[in-house]
């Protein structure tokens, strides 16, 4: 059995974090639309920004 390289595990974890950021973005926007609470919109947009940064980082390490 060949050992898994550390970069593969790193890519998997970053991908999982990206999926979580998208889920939390969607949840925040949905809750804002239901309740009108601006805090939910702020959290949703913050997770959207985190998702963009993670996507750019993942793209960078994928081509490395």
Torsion angle of C-alpha atoms 25, 19, 48, 61, degrees rounded to 10: 180
Q: What is the C-alpha separation between 7 and 30, in angstroms, rounded?
A: 35
pLDDT digits (tens, 9 = 90+) for 24-59: 999 999 999 999 999 999 999 999 999 999 999 999
Q: What is the pLDDT of residue 59?
A: 95
Global pTM reads 0.85
Q: Which residue matches tokens 């913050």?
A: 46
Q: What is the pLDDT of residue 46?
A: 97
């Amino acid at each position: 059995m060949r050992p898994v390289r550390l970069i593969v595990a790193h890519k998997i974890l970053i991908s999982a974090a990206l999926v979580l950021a998208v889920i939390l973005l969607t949840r925040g926007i949905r809750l804002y639309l239901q309740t009108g609470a601006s805090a939910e919109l702020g959290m949703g947009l913050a997770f959207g920004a985190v998702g963009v940064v993670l996507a750019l980082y993942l793209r960078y390490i994928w081509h490395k």
